[in-house]
Structure 1
Amino acid sequence: MSSRFMSRISGGCSRQMARVACCRPSVARGTSCVGTSTRDHHMPIRVRIVLATAALMAISLLILGGGIYVMMSRHLHSSLDSRLQNVFRNYQSNYQEKPDAWFVPGTGVLVIPPNLNPNPFASSGLYIQILDQNGIVQRRSDNLENDVIQISNEAFAQSAQGDTVFYTTTVANGPVRVLSGPLYSPQRAETWFIQIAEPLTPVQRTLSALKQTLLIGSTMATILLAAGAWVISEGALSPLARMSHTARSIGSTRDLSQRIDLPRTHDELQDLAETFNDMLARLEETFNAQRRFVADASHELRTPLTALRANSEIMLRQVDSGIVDSADLREGLTDVRDEVDRMTRLVQNLLTLARADVGWRPEMESVDLVEIVRDAGRFATPLAHGRPFSISLPAPDVDGAAPQIIVEGNADQLRQLILILLDNAFTYASHEGDVTLTLDRDGQDAIIAVADSGPGIRPEHLHRVFERFYRADDARSRAHGGAGLGLSIARWIAAIHRGEIDV
């Protein structure tokens, strides 16, 4: 079976293709290809959720309760002022219509008409007193007894100007709301001033009871909401607790094969668990690949070291015995040189991959792929060892000018990529099989293809040929001196040029 890079399976040959994406044509250069492409203990989340929920609830209830309290206070005080206003208007209208009924006939002694309804002087709910123009109390309700309704000079002056004044003072050691206003009639020359007061104690008791009810209700509502938030958060966060337990277990046992049980919640927690499992799978794959890499690298380094030691011991024994066979010595030194070359190539490849792993990138500049492919083919010709080897380049332009495919890349790295593919083709192609190096355009892409007539790669190995130290045929690869790093380096070179390489 045969295979090809970046293409379908092709019968009769094995193709390796490196694809480099091209950019739009350059104004200055014609066609321009852009190649290249210790655990801290914090407050648990559940506790924070409960506290935040309770705090928000408490603040909301405080604002709502405060609004209710203020509105109720204003309503009660407004109702009280309205009642005082109604009583005052009743007195004022009665005095204006029948002022003589307010005095003892033939005297200036002030009395209260017996038919005044309601008669505050006979009511225990209101305190009333009447002042003359000098501010002296002339009449007061019986429930005042020996007490008087205090009035400030400012309030008395406003009443004297004909205004109605509301204020708060104390009567019988209790707060009262007072209305002070003038009593006058066109039929009489004098003006009297009346103060009507109602105790504030009922209003204060009502507001106190309302405040207590709001506080108790708000506290109970906050506690119930916090308890509900605790129960709900416990159920919602239990998958996170299981994830944390699994993560700690993996950290302590280093067993990356463990997975989190997916919660069937169909929400962000399930997405998180699936993402975590995917990450664990990738970490496990990476860890296993790293472990294989270390094992393979150790094996690849141990083999030439063993050969070097064996050849050194043979030559030392000859020297110690005093019998040195020049043919054996030459063969031993040749083996040493070959093993040193093999180790040098292996170390250079490992260094290249190590630099790639830490993000090293070569300097990029505008280069001509046609020239690079032509140079790589010339350098690789001795590797063909007599096999048929051909290079196919783009045809000249209509005007006969030499073809150019300009890309932003690194000439040395692109040349190394081509040489890796050619070396791989020469290594596994049959002695009579031909090898072809092709450079072509495909729209905005430049395609570098290496094809040979070798046995190809079996389908079960295609997805792993770019892994480090991987060999589809381990015995044959070792016989040819390969370490399985070439295609890994080729894939990295294609990647840093924003290209693709595939079978």
Structure 2
Amino acid sequence: MFTRSRRNLAYWFALSMGGILVLFAGVSYCLSVEGQLQAFDQALSKKSRAIASGATVRFQQGQWQIEPDDAPWMGSDRLSRSSELVYVRWYNTRGYLVRFIGLPAPLRLKPVSEFQTIVVADDQAGTTATGLWLRQATLPVLQNQQLVGYLQVGEPLTGIRDGLERVRLFLALGVPMTLGVIGVTGWFLGGVAMQPTRRAYDQLQRFTADASHELRAPLAAMLSNAQVGLLSPDDSAQQRLRLEKIVAAAKSMGALISNLLFLSRQEGPLDAASLKQVDLVVMLRSLIDDQTTQVTAQGLTFTSQLPAQAVILNADPDLLRQAVMNLLSNAFKYTSPGGSVQLRLSTSSRFAVIQVEDNGIGIPAADLPHIFERFYRVDTARSRQTGGFGLGLAIAQQIIAAHRGRITASSALEAGSTFQIELPLKG
């Protein structure tokens, strides 16, 4: 699936970028042709006007007569070798040929545009090529703002054609090579772009597998107790025990479903309108009072260090209480009888810092980066004995992140763990 998606991404990337490249190359080529022709026409126009300025114009027999001079750029009947012009033609005001030098000229001037690209046949051009490409300029000759005739010159486009041939060769080789590079780049970028999707898909698969496994255990307990209750004789004490097991399994499933719903729904920071002013000192004292009896029964020592003054911040009190409670529950769960758990609260210039420290079994260094992942357990067998689904730390991290804070952990195996929450103080 991912290979196909990566291939499709590379294909569409190469297609879009290739289309842009081809369009850019085509537009650049057209602009290059237009720019070179414009510069060529300007130079040809200057030459034509220089030739026209050397002609003698007389008014005879009721019309203007043009008498071209034999300038240095032309011989008696042909252009000199130093000239780049192929022909020069003079026409009178009625469009009849007066004189020409170079290639033969039509006797009558046809209506043409000022500048025109033409191809001269082999027998006319005297070349072995397929034809000579010329740029022809046909310009009116004016005397005292009055038309006295026309001058037509032609110059080869050999230089421009050679330059454009090199450009076409460059594009013919460069564009396919660039398209190949774009394709390889698209394949590489497609792989990079698919990595988050692949990780999310793998996490979803693990999440689904773990959730299914966790739900299967209480369902199996409920089913077995119900089936035994149907088969066994009527014994009120046994029936009550089985019903209590079914209720406990149902509560376990309900807690798991609630946790899963919270993890799926609560994404991103909390809405500021839903936050309230919370005094962390008061909230933590309430937690300590609630847990003292249970901790004493487990044979643990539970101490606290809280500041005398209030520590106020904007938070959702229920969610924040749940996050701290999850850390305390983990500490109580993985600390052996006779051990100790300490809850501390302090402040810095911008943050309130909550620390939960224990001297329990600790977390191996290899597992420490993964403890906030959903359903992750450091020791699966021991975790199942102590209960829980491996969601407590994931929920705590999500709650703290929703409050724009952060949670970190440090631990040493068989030496204990310390979890630290940093929350922004009320501004």
How high is the TM-score relative to the length of structure 1?
0.59
Is 1:241 aligned to residue 183 of structure 2?
Answer: yes
Alignment of 1:124-143 (within 5 A): 128=58
> Which of 19, 30, 36 does residue 64 from structure 1 map onto?
36
Question: Partner residue of 1:169?
Answer: 93
CA RMSD of aligned residues (A): 3.3
Alignment of 1:336-351 (within 5 A): 336-351=246-261
Counterpart residue type for residue 255 of structure 2 = R
Counterpart residue type for residue 368 of structure 1 = D
Change in 2 beyond 3 A, CA 1:241/1:489: same
Separation in 2, partners of 1:443, 1:377:
26
Question: Partner residue of 2:212?
Answer: 298
The Cα shift of 1:334 comes to: 1.8
Question: Partner residue of 1:378?
Answer: 289
Separation in 2, partners of 1:129, 1:171:
16
Alignment of 1:254-265 (within 5 A): 260=188
Alignment of 1:28-427 (within 5 A): 45-46=17-18, 48-84=20-56, 128=58, 148-150=62-64, 169-170=93-94, 174=98, 177=141, 179=143, 200=150, 203-204=151-152, 206=153, 209-210=154-155, 213-214=156-157, 218=160, 221-222=163-164, 224-242=166-184, 260=188, 273=189, 276-318=190-232, 323-357=233-267, 359=268, 361=270, 363-386=274-297, 387-394=300-307, 396=308, 403-427=309-333
The Cα shift of 1:329 comes to: 1.6
Alignment of 1:454-465 (within 5 A): 454-465=360-371
The Cα shift of 1:64 comes to: 3.3
Separation in 1, partners of 2:96, 2:382:
117
The Cα shift of 1:406 comes to: 1.6
Counterpart residue type for residue 281 of structure 2 = V
Question: Partner residue of 1:444?
Answer: 350
Is 1:490 aligned to residue 400 of structure 2?
Answer: no
Q: What do residues 435-488 of structure 1 show as CA deviations (whole Å, max 9, x unaligned)?
A: 211111133221111112211111111011111101111111111221000000
Change in 2 beyond 3 A, CA 1:44/1:465: closer
- SS of 2:31's partner is helix
Q: In 2, are the aligned partners of 1:439 and 1:449 still within 8 Å (CA)?
A: yes
Question: Partner residue of 1:14?
Answer: none
Separation in 2, partners of 1:368, 1:172:
106
Change in 2 beyond 3 A, CA 1:444/1:353: same
Q: What do residues 354-397 of structure 1 show as CA deviations (whole Å, max 9, x unaligned)?
A: 1125x473522332222222222233334425332222101x3x
The Cα shift of 1:298 comes to: 0.2
How high is the TM-score relative to the length of structure 2?
0.68
The Cα shift of 1:168 comes to: 6.7
- SS of 1:459's partner is coil
Change in 2 beyond 3 A, CA 1:370/1:233: farther
Higher deviation after alignment, 415-424 or 218-227: 218-227
Q: In 1, are the aligned partners of 2:323 and 2:399 still within 8 Å (CA)?
A: yes
Change in 2 beyond 3 A, CA 1:310/1:171: closer
Question: Partner residue of 1:157?
Answer: none
Change in 2 beyond 3 A, CA 1:179/1:486: closer
Separation in 2, partners of 1:227, 1:494:
62
Change in 2 beyond 3 A, CA 1:291/1:222: same
Change in 2 beyond 3 A, CA 1:222/1:356: farther
Question: Partner residue of 2:420?
Answer: none
- SS of 2:352's partner is strand
Counterpart residue type for residue 388 of structure 2 = G
Question: Partner residue of 1:400?
Answer: none
Q: In 2, are the aligned partners of 1:380 and 1:422 still within 8 Å (CA)?
A: no
Separation in 1, partners of 2:375, 2:385:
14
Q: In 1, are the aligned partners of 2:270 and 2:403 still within 8 Å (CA)?
A: no
The Cα shift of 1:220 comes to: 5.5
Counterpart residue type for residue 69 of structure 1 = D
The Cα shift of 1:414 comes to: 0.9
- SS of 2:361's partner is coil
Q: What do residues 138-180 of structure 1 show as CA deviations (whole Å, max 9, x unaligned)?
A: xxxxxxxxxx5259xxxxxxxxxxxxxxx97237555795758
The Cα shift of 1:312 comes to: 0.4
Separation in 1, partners of 2:15, 2:311:
62
The Cα shift of 1:297 comes to: 0.3
Paired positions, count = 331
Higher deviation after alignment, 472-481 or 60-69: 60-69
Higher RCO (CA-CA < 8 Å; seq separation 6+)? 1
Question: Partner residue of 2:137?
Answer: none
Counterpart residue type for residue 254 of structure 2 = T
Change in 2 beyond 3 A, CA 1:337/1:171: closer
Question: Partner residue of 1:471?
Answer: 377
Q: Which has the higher strand share?
A: 2
Unmatched tracts of structure 1, length 5 or more: 1-37, 85-126, 131-136, 138-147, 152-166, 181-194, 247-259, 261-272, 397-402
Question: Partner residue of 1:19?
Answer: none
Q: In 1, are the aligned partners of 2:374 and 2:391 still within 8 Å (CA)?
A: yes
Separation in 2, partners of 1:48, 1:486:
51
Separation in 1, partners of 2:355, 2:27:
68
> Which of 299, 319, 335 does residue 429 from structure 1 map onto?
335
Q: What do residues 265-303 of structure 1 show as CA deviations (whole Å, max 9, x unaligned)?
A: xxxxxxxx4xx5444443333222221111110010000
Change in 2 beyond 3 A, CA 1:377/1:305: same
Q: What do residues 174-222 of structure 1 show as CA deviations (whole Å, max 9, x unaligned)?
A: 5795758xxxxxxxxxxxxxx9x7x74xx41x2xx22xx34x6545644
Q: In 2, are the aligned partners of 1:364 and 1:409 still within 8 Å (CA)?
A: yes
Q: What do residues 64-116 of structure 1 show as CA deviations (whole Å, max 9, x unaligned)?
A: 322332343244224423443xxxxxxxxxxxxxxxxxxxxxxxxxxxxxxxx
